[in-house]
């Protein structure tokens, strides 16, 4: 949050009630507007193909259109709060929507289009005379980053033998990024994005070795992307090091469309949700990052050098030098950052870590060895003006299941279907090696029968109840914004609650009934713990990605996977909830999109 800290009432709006309507709902006095849906031209000059609602855009067209499944975003001002760049992630593809025939015909063109629907977008937007926002097209900043965009590799794993492939013997040039989830803007003006569920894109070998197994690589093609059939690098048997080249935090300079984005290996390899930067008093970068997978960890990187004035170029190697730590949460409310440093804590050659590069590539194995706390799916991390660090732990139905870790102080609920938010304060500055932590809120429906599924939030159920916190951000006034990701599309209908950690399918057995309506965004007062629902999304969508203009008067959020519908959409017997947001065309398809939210009177968001 780089906006100035303003005074005034923290939460001054009327709470939005629970809803299962196929629309976006904002408080009275606010207006929401759709921007830059999947398939809109990103704005590359001379190449502005219109979206085809029938799914017949080509791969080449998709490569200059907004990708699918908008996730984390950040606003980069070009002209105060009137004009700027929106950078965003496109987390995954949905072939049922991407192709006119749902992906039945399969060849190189289909793989290319699927890959072009992934990655990042940078587009220019400007405020209009009436206060609304519009895309600027063409724009000299407009850019798509896809699976074909060359990335450099920075940090200790650059060039490592485990990063080398037949196509890249240098181990320093990777094509593309994928599974990009949370995002943030760094104090030096770049964009950070996490490569989260990368493993599901790889065709696994019949007998995965111990390293591959620890990262969830399994025999066969788990998620149905079928890229390996026409892009051999996604066949992990033929190209066993290619998966090592994903699972990084990537950094992009949105102001220079010709710049080469970089995979920052010093921050460790993980199913990174995203990365959030805080600054020490002497100006070093501290990067917090959660690994969103069941029983994985929370990381922090402390840069060796200080942030320099001069933006992206002056700080081009800032995130390549420093120390990576993993968190241990102790039962007495304290915690310790354990350094992932080769030669320390048993991270030796004998233990399977030849050098620092291997420690970083095998960060999960290193964290196991150090005794890091295995968390309930750490997602976004946010830092408030008082220096408190918050993390969403979205859910973990396997906590306490047979053969899986039981509860611990930080993850206190068995079959944790509702998730929780935990916060800590470092001892000393952000680079402190110890901290004090507490739970901020235990999420879930307060009316749930099972004790461990019950939400314990401050505020009446109709105004404050939520489950499965995911997106998390602190605005310039110090308000903590919480975005939810209850899966899958049925919460509106109040049917079964399903999790969608596909690398780790949920155990069989009954699920919680969740009757909290569609996914939502809530505002929380960090001082009092009061929580108030601000926004409800359309059917089947998750709310993710959040930023504001520097003046705090426009908020941008992303709507991901409206109408997320497991099973065959064309099957009338499929009883799942259906969305046609935002176009609501009979011949259309639901589209992820950005929503710009303003107060009708032009006031500060949330007041």
User: What is the binding site for Ca ion (CB under 5 A)?
Assistant: 181, 379, 470, 485
* 236/238 Cα distance (integer angstroms): 5
Q: What ranges make up the beta strands (E) of 53-175?
A: 70-79, 83-90, 119-127, 133-136, 143-145, 150-154, 173-175
**Of these, 22, 40, 91, 212, which contacts ligand FEO (CB under 6 A)?**
91
Q: What are residue 167's phi and psi, to 5 degrees?
A: -80, -20
**Residues 142 to 181 in contact with ligand FEO, rule: CB under 6 A:** 181
3 state DSSP class of 393? strand
Nearer of residues 39 and 274 to ligand FEO, judged by Cβ: 274
Of 94, 273, 296, 564, which one interacts with ligand FEO (CB under 6 A)? 273
Whether omega before 348 lies within 30 degrees of 0, making that bond cis, reads no
Measured from the CB of residue 324, what is the shortest distance to ligand FEO in angstroms? 20
Beta strands in 178-331 (DSSP E): 180-185, 191-195, 249-252, 262-264, 276-279, 284-290, 294-296, 298-306, 322-329
CB 459 within 8 A of CB 544: no
Q: How far is the CB of 487 from Ca ion (least distance, A)?
A: 7
- State which residue, 70 or 553, has the beta carbon closest to ligand FEO: 70
Task: Please say which residue, 10 or 118, places its beta carbon nearer to ligand FEO.
Answer: 118
Residue 221 binds which one of ligand FEO, Ca ion, none, with CB within 5 to 8 A depending on kind?
Answer: none
Report the SS3 class of residue 38: coil
Q: How far is the CB of 465 from ligand FEO (least distance, A)?
A: 21
Spatial neighbors of 573 by CB under 8 A, at least 6 apart, are none
List the single partner that 231 binds among Ca ion, ligand FEO, none, CB under 5 to 8 Å by kind.
none
Angstrom CA distances, 465 to 46, 444, 445, 492, 527, stand at: 48, 7, 6, 14, 18
Cβ proximity to ligand FEO, 70 vs 477, nearer residue: 70
Q: Are 176 and 151 in contact (CB under 8 A)?
A: yes
- Bridge partners of 444, per DSSP, are 466
Work out how close the CB of 319 gets to ligand FEO at its nearest, in angstroms, rounded to a whole number.
Answer: 21
Residue nearest Ca ion, Cβ-based: 485
Q: How far is the CB of 294 from ligand FEO (least distance, A)?
A: 11
- Choose, by CB under 6 A, the member of 168, 376, 379, 499 that binds ligand FEO: 379
Q: Would the CA dihedral through 536, 84, 91, 388 be positive or negative?
A: negative
State the minimum distance, in angstroms, from the CB of residue 158 to ligand FEO. Answer: 26
Residue 379 Cβ vs ligand FEO, minimum distance, rounded to whole Å: 5
Q: Return the DSSP state at 361.
A: H
- Tell me, what DSSP letter sits at residue 200? G
Give 280 or 289: the residue with its C-beta nearer to Ca ion. 289
490 binds, among Ca ion, ligand FEO, none (CB under 5 to 8 A by kind): none
Asked if residue 524 lies in contact with residue 531, where contact means CB atoms within 8 angstroms, the answer is yes
Least distance CB 207 / ligand FEO (angstroms): 29
Lookup: tokens for 155: 């940090």
Q: Within a 13 Å sphere around the CA of 6, how many CA atoms are in the beta-carbon half?
A: 21
Residue that the structure tokens 């209850």 belong to: 486
Nearer to ligand FEO, 133 or 248 (CB): 248
- 296 contributes a contact to ligand FEO by CB under 6 A: no
The reply on whether position 196 binds ligand FEO by CB under 6 A is yes
Considering the complex, state which of residue 181 and residue 359 has its C-beta at the smaller distance from ligand FEO: 181
Q: Is 291 in the site for ligand FEO (CB under 6 A)?
A: no
For the sheet containing 542-548, what is the strand order? 30-35, 593-599, 554-560, 542-548
Strand-pairing partners, residue 102, are none
| Per-residue interface string for the shown chain with ligand FEO, residues 441-480, x marking contact by CB under 6 A | -----------------------------x----------
Decide if 65 contacts 49 (C-beta within 8 A): yes
Question: Smaller CB distance to ligand FEO: residue 30 or 497?
Answer: 497
Helix (H) / strand (E) element for 514: namely none
Distance CA 513, CA 299 (A): 33
For residue 168, the partner it binds in Ca ion, ligand FEO, none, with Cβ less than 5 to 8 A by kind, is none
In the bound state with Ca ion, the residue whose beta carbon lies nearer, of 426 and 485, is 485
Asked if residue 118 lies in contact with residue 67, where contact means CB atoms within 8 angstroms, the answer is: yes
| Contact status: 292 vs ligand FEO (CB under 6 A) | yes
CB-nearer residue toward ligand FEO: 242 or 379: 379
Token representation of residue 580: 């046609």
Assess 547 for contact with ligand FEO (CB under 6 A): no
Out of Ca ion, ligand FEO, none, what residue 196 binds, judged by CB under 5 to 8 A for its kind, is: ligand FEO
Q: How many residues bind ligand FEO (CB under 6 A)?
A: 7
253 or 292: CB nearest ligand FEO: 292
Among 89, 425, 19, 402, residue whose Cα is nearest residue 261 = 89
**Of the two residues 181 and 312, which places its CB atom closer to ligand FEO in the complex?**
181
The DSSP output letter for 190 is: -
Q: Which helix (H) or strand (E) holds 438?
A: strand 434-442
- Residues contributing to the site for ligand FEO (CB under 6 A): 91, 181, 196, 273, 292, 379, 470
């Amino acid at each position: 949050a780089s906006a100035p800290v303003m005074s005034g009432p923290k939460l001054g709006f009327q709470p939005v009630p629970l809803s299962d309507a196929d629309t976006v709902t904002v408080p009275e006095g606010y207006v929401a507007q759709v921007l830059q849906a999947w398939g809109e031209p990103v704005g590359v000059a001379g190449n502005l193909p219109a979206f085809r609602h029938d799914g017949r855009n080509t791969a080449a067209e998709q490569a200059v259109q907004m990708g699918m499944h908008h996730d984390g975003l950040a606003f980069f001002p070009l002209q105060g709060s009137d004009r700027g760049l929106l950078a965003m992630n496109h987390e995954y593809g949905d072939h049922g929507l991407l192709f006119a025939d749902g992906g039945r015909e399969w060849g190189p063109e289909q793989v290319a289009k699927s890959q072009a629907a992934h990655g990042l977008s940078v587009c220019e937007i400007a405020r209009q005379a009436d206060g609304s926002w519009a895309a600027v097209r063409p724009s000299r900043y407009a850019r798509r980053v896809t699976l074909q965009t060359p990335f450099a590799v920075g940090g200790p794993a650059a060039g490592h033998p485990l990063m080398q492939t037949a196509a890249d013997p240098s181990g320093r040039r990777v094509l593309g990024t994928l599974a990009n989830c949370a995002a943030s803007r760094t104090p030096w003006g770049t964009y950070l994005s996490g490569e989260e569920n990368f493993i599901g894109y790889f065709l696994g070998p019949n007998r995965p070795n111990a390293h591959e197994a620890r990262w969830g690589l399994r025999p066969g093609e788990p998620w149905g992307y079928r890229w390996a059939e026409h892009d051999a690098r996604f066949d992990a048997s033929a190209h066993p090091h290619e998966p090592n080249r994903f699972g990084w935090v990537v950094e992009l300079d949105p102001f220079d469309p010709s710049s080469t984005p970089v995979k920052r290996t010093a921050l460790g390899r993980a199913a990174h949700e995203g990365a959030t930067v805080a600054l020490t008093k002497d100006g070093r970068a501290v990067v917090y990052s959660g690994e969103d997978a069941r029983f994985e960890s929370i990381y922090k990187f402390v840069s060796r050098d200080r942030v320099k004035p001069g933006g992206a170029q002056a700080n081009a190697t800032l995130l390549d030098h420093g120390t990576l730590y993993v968190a241990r949460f102790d039962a007495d409310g304290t915690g310790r950052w354990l350094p992932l440093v080769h030669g320390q804590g048993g991270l030796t050659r004998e233990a399977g870590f030849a050098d620092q590069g291997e420690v970083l590539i095998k960060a999960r194995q290193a964290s196991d060895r150090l005794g890091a706390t295995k968390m309930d799916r750490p997602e976004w991390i946010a830092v408030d003006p008082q220096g408190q660090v918050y993390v969403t732990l979205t859910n973990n139905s396997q906590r306490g299941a047979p053969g899986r870790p039981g509860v611990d102080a930080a993850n206190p609920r068995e079959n944790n279907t509702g998730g929780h938010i935990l916060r800590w304060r470092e001892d000393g500055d952000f680079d402190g090696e110890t901290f004090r932590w507490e739970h901020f809120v235990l999420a879930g429906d307060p009316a749930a029968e099972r004790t461990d599924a019950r939400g314990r939030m401050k505020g009446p159920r109709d105004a404050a109840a939520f489950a499965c916190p995911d997106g998390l951000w602190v605005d310039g006034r110090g308000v903590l914004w919480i975005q939810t990701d209850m899966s899958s599309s049925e919460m509106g209908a109040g049917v079964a609650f399903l999790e969608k950690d596909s690398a780790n399918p949920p155990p069989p057995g009954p699920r919680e009934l969740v009757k909290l309506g569609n996914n939502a965004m809530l505002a929380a007062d960090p001082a009092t713990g009061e929580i108030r629902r601000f926004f409800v999304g359309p059917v089947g969508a998750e709310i993710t990605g959040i930023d504001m203009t520097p003046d705090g008067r426009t908020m941008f959020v992303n709507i991901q996977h409206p109408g997320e519908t497991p099973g065959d959409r064309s099957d009338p017997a499929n009883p799942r909830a259906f969305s046609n947001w935002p176009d609501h065309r009979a011949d259309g398809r639901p589209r992820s999109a950005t929503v710009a939210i303003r107060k009708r009177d032009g006031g500060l968001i949330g007041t």
